[in-house]
């Protein structure tokens, strides 16, 4: 080893020790924060996780250029925040399972690997875990950039008292997994959205295979690990957990394939400066009612980013509208817009305000 390389490595070792000391110092501050929060009414896990504050921390560390790059810094600091949060109280987060689903990956992306994660079999079960207090937060998929909304999640959010307190955007790369590198594939398992996302690739390579929808991509991988003549469309993480071969990576039809997830909990998130609000409403049954409702947002300078409708399931041909818009429920223009909307609707419910992903 050259003298120069030895000196560089000594310098790295010195810096690493300094970083470790600073991380220890940061951990002590986190414990002081925990003491300062002891008089709050929420559960301990809910108090510890403050989305607006964590957004501010990530903004601070990426405000100047780094040789590591913004994404790498965010990943590193997510883990630092996670470890410090765990010193206060472990945050328990339920997710749409089993292990290695994209919901699981989204939960880790948001809470870091120091969190305590609880798999659930349906979005409703995730909600029940949080409502019962067994989990502090839940992570559920709400929308895919190619396949649209997850209707079960939208319906669920209207019925619960829980609030959306954060959103996560996760890039989705689907892989083709099997037990054997040269396996004959007669059946392909996956979630309905994943099967749709990979329709062209599957049609080209396995036109005669039976496509079998299951509750999640990870469930598909779990099934294939116990079956012959079958394959799964799932994540690279699922391949590792269920000991499967990756026959092909990136088989989704679109390179720009993202899924949006909501973090739901018992807290209301404070403004972060770059927020989004989700709202549900039912308009009065009269000509021009929807036009009047949308004009309210325009008049109050509220920027709608999404609108869609769902049957209310309570009255034939009655629809509920779901909208997302930029801003926080405490912003004055939004307060005015919602007040006006309430006067022209039979039902209005804020589903939550949260930092934009």
Residue 261 among the catalytic residues: yes
Q: Which CATH superfamily is domain 37-172 in?
A: Periplasmic binding protein-like II (3.40.190.10)
- Give the pLDDT of residue 42: 45
User: What string of DSSP letters covers 95-156?
Assistant: EESSTTSHHHHHHHHHH-TTSEEEEESSHHHHHHHHHTTS-SEEEEEEEETTTEE-HHHHHH
- Give the pLDDT of residue 39: 54
Question: CA of 164: how far to CAs of 216, 331, 351, in Å?
Answer: 22, 17, 6
Q: Do domains 37-172 and 175-256 have the same CATH topology?
A: yes
- Give the pLDDT of residue 188: 98
Q: For the chain, what are the domain ranges?
A: 37-172, 175-256, 271-355
Strand partners, 149: 143
Alpha-carbon span 21 to 27, nearest angstrom = 10
- Give the pLDDT of residue 183: 79
Residue 160 among the catalytic residues: no
Q: Which CATH superfamily is domain 271-355 in?
A: ACT domain (3.30.70.260)
Angle between helices 70-88 and 102-111 (to 10 degrees): 80
- The CATH number given to 175-256 is 3.40.190.10
Backbone angles phi, psi at 117, to 5 degrees: -110, 140
Question: Which of the following is catalytic: 153, 217, 259, 269?
Answer: 259
Strand partners, 118: 94
Question: Which of the following is catalytic: 102, 137, 176, 261?
Answer: 261
pLDDT digit string (tens) for the chain, length 357 residues: 688 899 999 999 999 999 999 999 999 998 888 777 765 544 555 668 889 999 899 989 988 888 999 989 999 999 999 999 888 888 999 998 889 999 999 999 999 999 899 999 888 999 999 999 999 999 999 998 888 888 889 999 999 999 999 999 999 999 999 999 987 999 999 999 899 999 999 999 999 999 999 989 999 999 999 999 999 999 999 999 999 999 999 999 998 889 999 999 999 999 999 999 999 999 988 899 999 999 999 999 999 999 999 998 888 888 999 999 999 999 999 999 999 999 999 999 999 999 998
Name the DSSP letter for residue 331. S
- Give the pLDDT of residue 41: 47
pTM (predicted TM-score): 0.86
- Give the pLDDT of residue 2: 83
Strand partners, 170: 259
Of the candidates 23, 96, 81, the residue with the CA atom closest to the CA atom of residue 48: 81
- The two tokens of residue 116 are 């305590």
């Amino acid at each position: 080893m050259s003298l120069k390389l030895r000196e560089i490595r000594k310098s790295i070792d010195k810096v690493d020790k300094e970083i470790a000391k600073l991380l220890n110092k940061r951990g002590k501050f986190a414990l002081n924060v925990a003491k300062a929060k002891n008089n709050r009414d929420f559960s301990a896990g809910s108090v510890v996780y403050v989305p607006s504050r964590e957004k501010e921390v990530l903004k601070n560390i990426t405000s100047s250029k780094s040789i590591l790059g913004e994404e790498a810094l965010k990943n590193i600091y997510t883990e630092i925040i996670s470890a410090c949060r765990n010193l206060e109280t472990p945050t328990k987060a339920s997710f749409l399972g089993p292990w290695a689903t994209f919901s699981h990956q989204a939960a880790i992306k948001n809470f870091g690997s120091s969190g305590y994660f609880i798999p659930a079999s349906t979005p409703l079960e995730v909600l029940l875990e949080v409502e019962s207090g067994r989990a502090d937060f839940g992570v559920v998929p709400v929308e895919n950039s190619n396949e649209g909304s997850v209707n079960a999640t939208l319906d669920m959010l209207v019925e619960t008292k829980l609030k959306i307190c954060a959103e996560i955007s996760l890039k989705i790369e689907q892989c083709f997994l099997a037990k054997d590198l040269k396996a004959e594939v007669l059946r392909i398992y996956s979630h309905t959205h994943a099967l749709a996302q990979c329709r062209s690739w599957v049609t080209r390579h396995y036109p005669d295979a039976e496509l079998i929808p299951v509750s999640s991509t990870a469930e598909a991988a779990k099934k294939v690990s116990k079956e012959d003549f079958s394959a799964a469309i799932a994540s690279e993480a699922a391949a590792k957990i269920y000991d499967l071969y990756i026959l092909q990576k990136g088989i989704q039809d679109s390179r720009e394939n993202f899924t949006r997830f909501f973090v739901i909990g018992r807290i209301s998130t404070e403004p972060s400066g770059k927020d989004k609000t989700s709202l549900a409403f039912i308009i009065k049954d009269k000509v021009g009612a929807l036009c009047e409702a949308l004009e309210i947002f325009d008049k109050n300078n509220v920027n709608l980013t999404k609108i869609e409708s769902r049957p209310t399931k309570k009255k034939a041909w009655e629809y509920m509208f779901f909208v997302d818009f930029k801003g926080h429920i405490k912003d004055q223009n939004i307060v005015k817009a919602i007040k006006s909307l309430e006067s022209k609707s039979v039902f209005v419910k804020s589903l939550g305000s949260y930092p934009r992903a």
